[in-house]
Amino acid sequence: MNPFYLLSKSMQKKIWDMKWDRFTPIQEMVIPTIIQTNKDIVISSGTASGKTEAAFLPILTLIESTAGKSLKVIYISPLKALINNQFERIEKLCEHIHVPIHRWHGDVDQGKKKKFIQSPAGILQITPESIESLFINRTEYIKRIFSEVEFIVIDEIHSFLDTERGVQLRSLLSRIENYCKSRPRIVGLSATIDNFDFVRSWINYRFTQNVEIVESPGNDKELNYSLMHFQSDESFKKPVEFFEDLRELTRESKSIIFCNSRGEVEETTVFLNRLAKRENIGETYYAHHSSIDKQEREYVERTIASSSAPKSVVATSSLELGIDIGEIELVVQVDSTFTVSSLKQRLGRSGRKKDTNQYLQLYTTNQDSLLQSLAVMELLVEKWVEPSEGYPMPYDIMLQQIISICQEYNGITETDLIKHLNRNHVFYSLPTDDIRMLIHHMINNDILELINGSQELIVGVDGERILRDKDFYSVFMTSEEYEVVNGAQKIGQLDKKWLINEGDNIILAGKLWTIQAIEESKGKVYVTTAVNANPPRYFGHGGKIHPKISEKMHEILCSDDKFGYINVEALGELNDIRRAYHLNNVEPQQRIIWKLRDSYFFEGYTGTKIARTLVWMLRSLGVQVKKYDEFGRIEVTGSMDLLEVFKQIIQNEWREEGLTAFTREDEFFQSKYSAFLPQELYMKMHISNEIDIHGVVAFLKNIKIIVVSTA
């Protein structure tokens, strides 16, 4: 049957009103799956393929007759801004039916929240952190709010799967189920997802066969892409020619220019606006990242979305997800993303307009970035993305959830708490003895208190400090920050870990400021517009690399592929990097140990987790590791036979616990709540997240190592 005729009359009328002449492929597949089955569903298709309507047209068809009296749909988003964007989109679908839509996050006023609490109905748009807040602060209303829920829609579901935030969300969904008359169906939306077996388990581990994956055959957008290389100087300062080329490229287009750090966003925005100003053009480029004040970010989003002029936004991953900033013609990536999925997500911001194609411009400014960008781009073209693997041994989030559960029930016995956690969709696989150990540790450290008589657990004195912290609801680590102000205007935030002084120049919100005063007690930095020529401070960060990316980098080094989409400078730089590999006829399955005068340099080209584990193994065997990087390139000093050391690593019987003695303090796993764990559980988390002995041994067995002397 034509999916159109499966929809209610109201939804059919809405489709006529929107003047749709056909459904998109994903809508054709999803509508009957939602209406004609009782399965959970993952909707996997490209950006701008109509996933939101694919989910909500059939959901509204099923709930419209009852949604005016009770809450039927919880829509969960990773971003408040995405909720605000989707609010109007979903509201339009509901204009012919009596299905109210409510937003709930930190920026929604208390009056609207109170109105929803008094009469929960329709659709609730919310973040995981706000769900947590409901369980803690609106406990007495929880049953009435959630009892009739039939659907839980998770937007950008891929952004949750491998993170501590995803563990929190999955736990909260299990807790919501406890109050529902029947288990709600989960509908996940994503443009970037892989490892569907894991996704099925994450959604419904009891009945994975009841999770339907609906995958679009792809869009008909043509991808146009190229790579330009501009080599930075020895201090990694980008050349003026790079900014001039970027300015020329974006002069007549509406673009998103993605950078990998907030500092790079600020530097790029200021430089591009200087070039525009030189042409007597006003502000053309706007900065967007998480340290810029929310009102300023929203102003930028509105400006770009509404502008008919060729204005562009320079952003970090803050615009990687689906926030609406209008029809973007061009996506620019400055130096490589750390993941293929991130580049795919960013690329999806262009070509959203009907009958337009996607345009991607890559820029690289150093050799590593050139090699990594090529690897990531080639894997993207091959349609590979990082498979989801989850967040292992989540004892840290369990601790946070135990505090929340004790507050929710205002006291719960240890037996009931353990039963609760054993049934929880994300903690069920953790040993009961470990759960009991964690509970007793929390009691002994006053995080929980055991009430004599009732033998109930409540939040203890130190637990109250954790619970009442303003950041309790978010489980990811956030740094302490200064608020940066210019007079009465909030500019944004600066991380307190960064060393700043009065008189320093900084770039924030795309403008240059001079620090006039630092008020530590109030956590404020006072700035004025910079009028001097002092160089500004920049700040950045890195990330973990999947083995597949490093392996592709090595494959490129071994090949003679000229890559038709790169400029002459990129090819020249690539050939320089390749020269030693070609001279030594290195093949993809081989790896080189360069024998230097008083050290060895091993170019492993493997994943970050394997590389670090290998470093700890080398240290345990007495090898002096001078330095290493995320690609598995390791320099060691001394006169040992490194080949023999690698053979010993393959032959040894290794215990993960034994490697922790050779791990530097800054190399240990760290999360927001890991410091509150008993040592035994903390070490389990560290081992599962950071150590991969099997991966190292398999890597060394599967490669052939050649030693090349440079002396």
Other CB atoms within 10 Å distance of the CB of residue 270: 18
Look at residue 157 in the predicted model and tell me its pLDDT: 95
CB-based burial label for 605 (10 Å; 0-12, 13-18, 19+): buried
Same domain, 134 and 179: yes
Q: Which of 519, 522, 516 is nearest to 502 (CA)?
A: 516
The CATH number for 84's domain is 3.40.50.300
| pLDDT at residue 26 greater than cutoff 90 | yes
Edge-to-edge strand list for the sheet holding 599-603: 624-628, 633-637, 599-603, 590-595, 704-709
Bridge partner list, 363: 228, 334
Give residue 538's pLDDT band: very low, low, confident or very high (50, 70, 90): very low
How far is 329 from 316, CA to CA, in rounded Å? Answer: 18
Is 474 part of a structural domain of the chain? no
Mean pLDDT of 292-297: 86
End-to-end CA distance of the chain: 74
At 48 the pLDDT is: 72
Identify the CA nearest to 335 among candidates 359, 314, 361, 364: 364
What is the residue-wise DSSP string for 383-395? T--PPP----S-H
Within this chain, do residues 186 and 37 fall inside the same structural domain, yes or no? yes
Helix axes 262-278, 240-250, angle to 10 degrees: 70
Q: Are residues 250 and 357 in the same domain?
A: yes
Pairing of strands 489-495, 481-486: antiparallel
Residues 472, 660, 547, 681: what is their CA dihedral angle, to the nearest 10 degrees? -40
State residue 479's pLDDT score: 62
CA distances from 284 to 250, 270, 438, 580, 640 (A): 10, 10, 54, 44, 58
Residue 505's φ and ψ, nearest 5 degrees, are -95, 135
Question: What radius of gyration, in Å, describes the C-alpha atoms of the chain?
Answer: 27
214: closest CA among 43, 392, 39? Answer: 43
Whether 588 and 619 have beta carbons less than 8 Å apart is answered as: no
Average pLDDT over residues 621-639: 93
Closest of 362, 379, 701, 393 to residue 546, by C-alpha: 379
CA atoms of 303 and 296, how far apart (whole Å): 10
CATH number at residue 463: 1.10.10.10
* Residue 407, SS3 per DSSP: helix
pLDDT over 60 at 356, yes or no: yes
The separation between CA 287 and the C-alpha centre of its own chain, rounded to angstroms, equals: 19
DSSP string, 688-699: HHH--HHHHHHH
CA–CA gap between residue 521 and residue 532 (Å, rounded): 28
422 and 317, same domain (yes or no): no
Position 219 confidence tier, pLDDT thresholds 50, 70, 90? low
Question: Is residue 679, in this structure, part of any structural domain at all?
Answer: yes
Do 442 and 490 belong to one domain?
Answer: no
pLDDT for 275: 93
Q: Is residue 473 part of a domain?
A: no
Rounded CA separation 47/31 (Å): 18
Is residue 599 domain-shared with residue 629, that is, in the same domain? yes
Examine the domain organization and report whether 364 and 498 are in the same domain: no
Do residues 711 and 596 touch, judged by C-beta distance below 8 A? yes
Q: Which residues contact 564 (CB under 8 A, 6 or more apart)?
A: none
CB of 439 closer than 8 Å to CB of 168: no
Q: What local confidence, expressed as pLDDT, does residue 703 receive?
A: 97
Task: Dump pLDDT digits (tens) for 475-520.
Answer: 977 666 788 899 888 888 777 655 567 888 887 876 788 899 888 7
For residue 323, what are the contacts with CB-CB under 8 A and spacing of at least 6?
79, 81, 82, 85, 301
Do 17 and 118 share a structural domain? yes
685 located within any domain = yes
Q: Are residues 122 and 171 in the same domain?
A: yes
Spatial separation of the C-alpha atoms in residues 369 and 229, rounded to whole Å: 9
Q: Are 172 and 57 found together in one domain?
A: yes
CA distance 448 to 62: 44
Assign 132 a pLDDT band (cuts: 50, 70, 90).
Answer: very high
Minimal CA–CA distance to 467: which of 169, 175, 136, 173? Answer: 136
Q: Which two tokens stand for residue 622?
A: 């007495």
Do 420 and 319 fall into the same domain? Answer: no
Q: What is the pLDDT of residue 480?
A: 67
pLDDT digits (tens, 9 = 90+) for 555-611: 999 999 999 999 999 999 999 999 999 999 999 999 999 998 889 999 999 999 999
Quote the tokens at residue 164.
């501590």
pLDDT band for 539, please (50, 70, 90 cuts).
very low
Note the pLDDT of residue 540.
43
Q: State the average pLDDT for the chain.
A: 91
The answer to whether residue 593 is domain-embedded is yes
The strand ranges marked E within 284-421 are: 285-288, 312-315, 330-334, 358-364, 412-413
Do the bridges between strand 590-595 and strand 599-603 make them parallel or antiparallel, or are there none, so unpaired? Answer: antiparallel
Q: Pick the last residue of a domain from 381, 416, 443.
A: 381
Q: How far is CA 489 from CA 171, 508, 528, in A?
A: 39, 13, 11
Amino acid 597: pLDDT = 85
Could you tell me which residues are beta bridge partners of residue 412? 457
Q: State whether 53 and 161 are in the same domain.
A: yes
Mean pLDDT (whole number) for 232-242: 85
Average pLDDT over residues 254-275: 92
Confidence class for position 218, pLDDT limits 50, 70, 90: low
565 lies in a domain?
Answer: no
Among 183, 215, 247, where does a domain finish? 215
How far is Cα 156 from Cα 71, in angstroms, rounded to an integer? 22
Alpha-carbon distance of 414 to 439, in angstroms, equals: 8
Unique residue bearing structure tokens 């006003």 = 282
Domain assignment of residue 545, yes or no? no
Domain that holds residue 13: 3-215
Q: Kindly report, residue by residue over 135-192, the tens digit of the pLDDT.
A: 999 999 999 999 999 999 999 999 999 999 999 999 999 999 999 999 999 999 998 8
If one counts every other C-beta atom within 10 angstroms of the C-beta of residue 624, the result is: 12
Q: Which residue has the tokens 């509908």?
A: 187
Q: Does residue 705 sit within a domain? A: yes
Higher pLDDT, 506 or 231: 231
Domain end residue (candidates: 215, 247, 272): 215
The reply to whether the predicted model has a pTM over 0.75 is yes
What is the structure's pLDDT at 142?
Answer: 96
The whole-number pLDDT of residue 510 equals 67
Q: How far apart are CA 290 and CA 679, in angstroms?
A: 33
Number of domains the chain contains? 5
